[in-house]
């Protein structure tokens, strides 16, 4: 089974094993070890430079690690005004404080900054998170961007070979000028690297000031019709197919263990849910499973038997469509 250590491969770093158990991030697990809160086979350790196997008994604060649960992934529509962290020194609201308490402990795949919104992937598996956020994995991140100013398509095309801003080298960026809206323009931007505030800094170097940034896809996963604060779990079969055997092995992902502490109701594998089942949490409604809807077309929501309604963004302009990623 994927994710289990063997004596042949020398085991895994202990902080990684603790993180996979869902107790903490790898960094936090290392801090616990340094603080003397972790013991292996009855002996307290103070250095994370230790490999362990399935035969070793690990305890944290005297309690044995819980049995590892199945690797899970969730799509989350991050609203603006939340930081992507479990605790913020400045006391700002965090995404994890807004998630329903019934969900398992989750960590994010990469980050979206305070004023960015859109698709954020969440997982209970630290190994999977690290693999999916690596530039070498090559997953395309696609954004819809509103910016103040003007730019030509020729200037945007030059970003395809990479650019250097403030002494930092950024990889290739695909950017398309979609339309003008008053003093603003709308762009579609795609990249595979995702350095800190990369989109904002690169566009600023072209004389543009980003005032709205929406991530609409991350690899094969799309924001779709998730509203602000909504979270939806990716089915295990879909996740396994999207990750593929090579990345799954690299992440030591586990797609067969039981769903321990499962928060979402299961309807049985013999039938597919035809209608979304929902639960309510602090962040609003949580879409569990159900058919995906097609992306909205430039803010127009079409409902059967209802009139067209035009949804406007926070600045008063029409809501842009969320384009599907290219092949």
pLDDT at site 298: 39
DSSP strand E in 230-296: where? 231-233, 277-281, 284-289
Count CA atoms within 13 Å of residue 126 on its CB side: 19
pLDDT at site 153: 97
pLDDT in tens, 230-288: 999 999 999 999 999 999 999 889 998 887 654 443 333 333 333 333 333 333 333 33
DSSP-assigned states of every residue in 207-233: T-EEEEEEEEEETTEE-TTPPTT-EEE
- Residue indicated by tokens 């990684």: 16
pLDDT at site 260: 61
pLDDT at site 266: 39
Do strands 73-78 and 231-233 pair parallel, antiparallel, or not at all (unpaired)? antiparallel
Give the chain's mean pLDDT: 80
* Structure token digits, residue 156: 């945007």
pTM over cut 0.95: no
pLDDT at site 178: 97
Query: Rounded to whole angstroms, how far apart are CA atoms 267 and 255?
Result: 18
Domains of the chain: 12-64 (3.10.290.10), 73-135+221-260+273-289 (3.30.70.580)
Catalytic residue list: 113
End-to-end CA gap in the chain: 31
pLDDT at site 101: 87
CB 261 within 8 A of CB 23: no
CB atoms inside a 10 Å sphere around CB 85 = 14
Backbone angles phi and psi of 233, in degrees to 5: -80, 140
pLDDT below 70 — which residues of the chain?
1-10, 22, 260-327
């Amino acid at each position: 089974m994927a994710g289990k250590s063997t004596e042949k491969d020398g085991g895994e770093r202990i902080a990684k094993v603790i993180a996979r158990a869902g107790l903490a991030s790898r960094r936090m697990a290392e801090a616990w070890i340094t603080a003397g809160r972790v013991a292996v086979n009855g002996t307290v350790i103070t250095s994370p430079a230790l490999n362990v196997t399935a035969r070793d008994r690990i305890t944290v604060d005297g309690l044995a690690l819980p049995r590892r649960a199945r690797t899970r992934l969730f799509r989350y529509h991050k609203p603006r005004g939340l930081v992507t962290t479990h605790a913020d020194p400045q006391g700002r609201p965090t995404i994890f404080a807004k998630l329903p308490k019934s969900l398992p402990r989750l960590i994010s795949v990469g980050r979206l900054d305070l004023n960015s919104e859109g698709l954020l992937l969440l997982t209970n598996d630290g190994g999977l998170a690290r693999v999916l956020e690596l530039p070498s994995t090559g997953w395309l991140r696609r954004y819809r961007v509103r910016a103040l100013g003007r730019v030509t398509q020729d200037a945007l095309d030059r970003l395809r070979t990479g650019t250097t801003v403030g002494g930092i080298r950024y990889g290739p960026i695909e950017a398309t000028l979609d339309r003008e809206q008053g003093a603003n323009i709308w762009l579609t931007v795609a990249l595979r690297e995702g350095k800190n505030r990369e989109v904002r800094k690169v566009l600023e170097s072209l004389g543009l000031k980003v005032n709205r940034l929406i991530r609409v896809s991350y690899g094969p996963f799309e924001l779709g019709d998730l509203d602000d604060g909504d979270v939806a779990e990716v089915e295990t079969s879909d996740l396994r197919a999207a990750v593929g055997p090579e990345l799954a092995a690299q992440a030591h992902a586990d797609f067969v263990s039981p769903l321990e502490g499962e928060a979402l109701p299961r309807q049985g594998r013999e039938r597919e849910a035809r209608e979304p089942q929902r639960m309510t949490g602090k962040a609003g409604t949580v879409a569990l499973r159900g058919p995906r809807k097609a992306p909205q077309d430039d803010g127009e929501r079409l409902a059967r038997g209802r009139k067209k309604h035009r949804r406007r963004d926070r600045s008063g302009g029409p809501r842009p469509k969320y384009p599907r990623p290219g092949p």
